[in-house]
Structure 1
Amino acid sequence: MPSPVKSPAAGPAPWIAMYHSVGDCSDDPYRVTVSPDRLERQLRWLCRRGLRGVSVAELLAARDRGGGRDLVGLTFDDGYADFLGNALPVLDRWGCTATLFVLPGRFGGDNAWDPLGPRKPLLTAEGVRRAAGRGVEIGSHGLAHIDLTRIDDIRLKAETAESRAVLEELTGTPVTGFCYPYGTVDRRVVAAVREAGYAYGCAIDPGALSGRHVLPRVHIGQDDTAVRLFLKRRLHRLRRRPVEGLR
């Protein structure tokens, strides 16, 4: 009699922080910006608790080896131009790495998808190449920052597979991570990301979906002081279900 097929092992959901822009917070209707000083304080909070911020690829590799409980994933969505001058120096000071999810269809443009503004410039192709050269993991955020659950299969393939090909040619390194614009995701989109060859995908709150291609994340903003970070980390441990395929 054949042995029953075992379900993939499930381990605690990793703590992955979701950042966007690092700069001036005076006009920030979507709460996508933290100041360099606030980022500095947040990374100091991590380090004083024996935690270290790393790229998602590094975090998952550590988990595969049975470790990584002292690591926190740091992600920066959209590829804002201020990453190089404002975020990267702070990350370097605290010995942290990160994953930068960029939009190859909008290199050198701005965040036109945010109707209330303010307009924030995005990295050029050369800026993305510079970030990769500094050890930052580059991941895809799709081509143009659109809701992938609302487009047809042909365009979905472009947003996933073609964006990956462009970034790999640009950086000369494998691109293994994908981030869903707006955090919206369904089974069809997850399947497209998996078929495009990504090793993992980052969502926000994936609901009933689970696995490496729908990793949950925690939004981190300007208001997140030490107390709020402590509570967010505690709630993440209590509320997030184990993730299939992680130890």
Structure 2
Amino acid sequence: MYHSVADPTDDPYEITVSPDRLDAQLRWMRRQGLRGVSMRQLTEACARGRQHNLVGLTFDDGYRDFVDHALPLLRRHACTATVFALPGRIAGENAWDPLGPRKPLLDADGIRHAAAEGMEVASHGLTHTDLTAADDATLRREVAGSRVALADVTGEEPAGFCYPYGHVDERVLLAVRDAGYRYACAIAPGPLAGPLALPRVHIGQGDTAWRLRLKLRTNRLRHRALAGSAVTA
């Protein structure tokens, strides 16, 4: 689970990795015989029993730096990834982070460019709202409405959804299912873990080779009971 790829100096939420750090992390992953893929590719491989050595790479929030910095590195290392975009904030900024700094989000051209380069574009809701605290009308708009809005941009209905803040409960999960998504990503969904609440591991600026190795091992042990699982980062 990545977010922004930029200068991490001013990063109160610890969600930013530098391009150099991402480059090193992807290089380490390839040296381990692992290949980064989008969540759509990963779930399709799981369905065929061919997920061995695949790592699902996700980039939450749809920051503009995904195209500027992450995309060239993903291509360099022969990886794909899923970028979870916010169609209700196209060309906007991360106004949901009160401490800042303000980071620009992808515009429509950037979203289409990512898709044209082989990246999966999936939904993070419309506006980055905590869906577990949303009323029913807002929940439908954020979940089903964002699917329609992204299809208007890319020409393809997204297969995946990512719960803002990683927050999910049974009501929200059912709304995602009813909207037609085939998978959804959370962070630590507990008993809801499954295809519509996939657990992920946060990757940050401090994750050097030994920490990546530890996270890989811990993740496999923690989620080995998840049917059809694979490593997701």
TM-score by length of 2: 0.96
- 1:103-118 equivalences under 5 Å are 103-118=86-101
Which of 128, 152, 172 does residue 111 from structure 2 map onto? Answer: 128
- Residues of 1 paired with 2:228 and 2:22: CA distance? 31
The Cα shift of 1:133 comes to 1.1
- Residues of 1 paired with 2:146 and 2:61: CA distance? 13
Q: Quote the sequence identity (%).
A: 62
Q: CA RMSD in A?
A: 1.1
Are 2:171 and 1:195 equivalent residues in the alignment?
A: no
Are 2:183 and 1:218 equivalent residues in the alignment?
A: no
The Cα shift of 1:228 comes to 0.2
Larger Rg: 1
Instruction: Name the structure 1 match of 2:137.
Output: 154
Local SS of the residue matching 1:37: helix
Which of 40, 44, 59 does residue 61 from structure 1 map onto? Answer: 44
| Residue pair 1:110, 1:119 contacting (<8 A) in 2 also | yes
The Cα shift of 1:210 comes to 2.2
Are 2:16 and 1:30 equivalent residues in the alignment?
A: no
- Residues of 1 paired with 2:208 and 2:229: CA distance? 30
| Residue pair 1:203, 1:214 contacting (<8 A) in 2 also | yes
Paired AA for residue 126 in structure 2: L
Instruction: Name the structure 2 match of 1:169.
Output: 152
Instruction: Name the structure 1 match of 2:219.
Output: 236
Instruction: Name the structure 2 match of 1:51.
Output: 34
Instruction: Name the structure 2 match of 1:98.
Output: 81
Local SS of the residue matching 1:163: helix
After superposition, the Cα gap between the structure-2 partners of 1:154 and 1:172, relative to the gap in structure 1 and judged at 3 Å, is same
Instruction: Name the structure 2 match of 1:81.
Output: 64
Paired AA for residue 206 in structure 1: P
The Cα shift of 1:235 comes to 0.7
The Cα shift of 1:246 comes to 5.3
- Residues of 2 paired with 1:239 and 1:126: CA distance? 39
Paired AA for residue 113 in structure 2: R
Paired AA for residue 131 in structure 1: A
- Residues of 1 paired with 2:24 and 2:95: CA distance? 30
Instruction: Name the structure 2 match of 1:4.
Output: none
Local SS of the residue matching 2:68: helix
The Cα shift of 1:74 comes to 0.3
Greater length-normalized contact order (CA 8 Å, ≥ 6 residues apart): 1
Local SS of the residue matching 2:191: coil
- Residues of 2 paired with 1:242 and 1:197: CA distance? 25
Identify unmatched segments of 5+ residues in structure 1.
1-17
Runs of 4+ in 1 over 4 A off after TM superposition: none
